[in-house]
């Protein structure tokens, strides 16, 4: 049985710092289609919509934008109870042109820092939010209709949580917060009720960065903690990184299936009675289509967010990429694309060999027929 933790609002110096104002954001990313025509989708959606641009609360170059801008849809909702908190009365859906939809819930937070631990535990694999988000994705796909090309919701989802604290009592510098309350922050980020080791605390708080002396962003693999009055830009980057992770997972699974099909096509037995009459055209077209679709999706995801220059948000994105192991996913996908390309070349070579073999047999038969006709002609 888990030990009970007092949630009394104790503001004494020895207690956890008190959150005067903050918001928790919960993201659910879904793979829904091969691609989505955002202009047509915008015309068919009747709820409040807007084209998303990357907020620039800090200095960033003008090319720090989405290409093309995703579509944000705001919908009303009935608040859902989560531990001692409740979701807001609206939910946002962000639609990307490469087929992903991100569902964003907001939860107002205040009280002792320890209250975030209960919320973090409640949000881990929360079935109520998961069911609500999937229902909303299915609904918006029905609304946009054929604006979504090859619409089909994948059977897995990628979620992420951001705790944004705007003000604390007593005020703490980022270094004071991370040094004095490292165990508590680690539990919140990892969603663990029991205390964790010093090594886990060091790892959970390793990806930490600040833009000003009074703000800090701590990025972990499942959640992030922001102490910042203006965190819209960081949240946007982290939301996209979560969507990118989803797409990498989806593409990796898709390539696994494509490789299985390609191997099957390549290893078909060639000892049939008339192997040269076998047609590899269908296999070749299928492998080529899988290769092209995977390459288009990979490029579409990686080129959506333009991150150039050594700016603060670019550093946030790089840290998030490390936490999500996006570089490893990229390397795995590129390796599988190369393997698929080599299999395509092998099948193409087999097709060429079969055609050459057939041509040789045709020539042999024609020569034999010619000789036979000549012999018959010379018979008395």
CB 96, CB 36: distance < 8 Å: yes
Same domain, 103 and 29: yes
Same domain, 153 and 46: yes
Same domain, 178 and 90: yes
Extract the tokens encoding 255: 């390539």
Q: Which of 205, 231, 257 is the last residue of a domain?
A: 231
- Is the bond into 239 cis (omega within 30 degrees of 0)? no
Domain-embedded: residue 318: yes
Domain-embedded: residue 13: no
Domain-embedded: residue 29: yes
Q: Which of 231, 266, 287 is the last residue of a domain?
A: 231
Extract the tokens encoding 158: 């990628």
Please give the pLDDT value at position 8.
Answer: 38
Query: What's the N-to-C CA distance of the chain in angstroms?
Result: 108
Confidence (pTM): 0.81
- Structurally, the chain folds into a number of domains equal to 2
Domain-embedded: residue 324: yes
Q: Measuring CA to CA, which residue among 168, 138, 165, 170 is closest to residue 151? A: 138
Same domain, 55 and 125: yes
Same domain, 163 and 23: yes
Domain-embedded: residue 7: no
Q: Which of 171, 201, 231 is the last residue of a domain?
A: 231
CB 216, CB 210: distance < 8 Å: yes
Q: How far apart are CA 114 and CA 178, in angstroms?
A: 14
Domain-embedded: residue 205: yes
What distance lies between CA 293 and its chain's CA centroid? Answer: 17
- The Cβ of residue 120 has, within 10 Å, a number of other Cβ atoms equal to 23
Same domain, 182 and 256: no
Domain-embedded: residue 251: yes
Same domain, 227 and 269: no
Question: Which residues span the domain enclosing 77?
Answer: 18-231
Same domain, 268 and 223: no
Same domain, 73 and 196: yes
What are the mean pLDDT values of the chain's consecutive 10-residue runs (380 residues total)? 38 69 96 91 77 57 65 92 92 92 96 93 92 95 92 92 93 89 93 89 91 92 92 89 91 82 64 46 67 70 59 86 89 82 72 76 85 78
Instruction: Please provide the DSSP assignment of 183-239 as one string.
Output: HHHHHHHHT-SS---HHHHHHHTSSEE-SSTT-EEEE-SSEEEEE-S--HHHHHHHH
């Amino acid at each position: 049985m888990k030990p009970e933790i007092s949630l009394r609002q104790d503001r004494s110096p020895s207690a956890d710092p008190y959150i005067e104002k903050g918001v928790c954001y919960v993201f659910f990313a879904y793979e829904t289609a091969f691609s989505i025509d955002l202009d047509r989708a915008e015309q068919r959606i009747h709820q409040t919509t807007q084209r998303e641009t990357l907020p620039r609360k800090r200095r960033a170059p003008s090319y720090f934008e989405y290409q093309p801008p995703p579509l944000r849809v705001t919908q009303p909702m009935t608040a859902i109870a989560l531990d001692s908190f409740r979701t807001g009365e609206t939910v946002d859906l962000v639609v990307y042109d490469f087929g992903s939809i991100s569902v964003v819930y907001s939860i107002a937070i205040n009280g002792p820092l320890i209250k975030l631990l209960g919320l973090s535990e409640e949000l881990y694999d929360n079935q109520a939010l998961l069911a609500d988000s999937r229902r909303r994705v299915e609904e918006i796909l029905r609304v946009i209709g054929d604006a979504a090309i090859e619409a089909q919701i994948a059977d897995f989802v990628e979620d992420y949580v951001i705790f944004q604290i705007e003000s604390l009592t007593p005020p703490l510098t980022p270094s004071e917060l991370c040094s004095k309350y490292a165990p508590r922050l680690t539990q919140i980020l990892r969603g663990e009720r029991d205390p964790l080791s010093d090594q886990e605390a060091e790892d959970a708080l390793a990806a930490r960065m600040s833009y000003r002396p009074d703000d800090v962003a701590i990025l972990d693999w499942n959640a992030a903690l922001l102490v910042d009055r203006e965190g819209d830009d960081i949240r946007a980057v982290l939301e996209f990184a979560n969507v990118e992770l989803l797409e990498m997972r989806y593409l990796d699974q898709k390539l696994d299936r494509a490789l299985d099909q390609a191997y099957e096509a390549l290893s078909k037995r060639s000892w049939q009675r008339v192997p040269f009459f076998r047609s590899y055209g269908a296999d070749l077209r299928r492998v080529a289509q899988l290769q092209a679709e995977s390459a288009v999706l990979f490029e579409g995801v990686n080129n959506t967010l333009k991150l150039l220059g050594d700016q603060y948000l670019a550093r946030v994105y790089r840290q998030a990429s490390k936490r999500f192991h996006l570089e490893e996913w990229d390397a795995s996908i590129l390796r599988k694309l190369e393997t698929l390309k080599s299999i395509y070349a092998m099948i193409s070579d087999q097709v060429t060999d079969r055609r050459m073999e057939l041509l040789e047999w045709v020539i042999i038969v024609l020569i034999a027929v010619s000789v036979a006709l000549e012999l018959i002609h010379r018979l008395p």
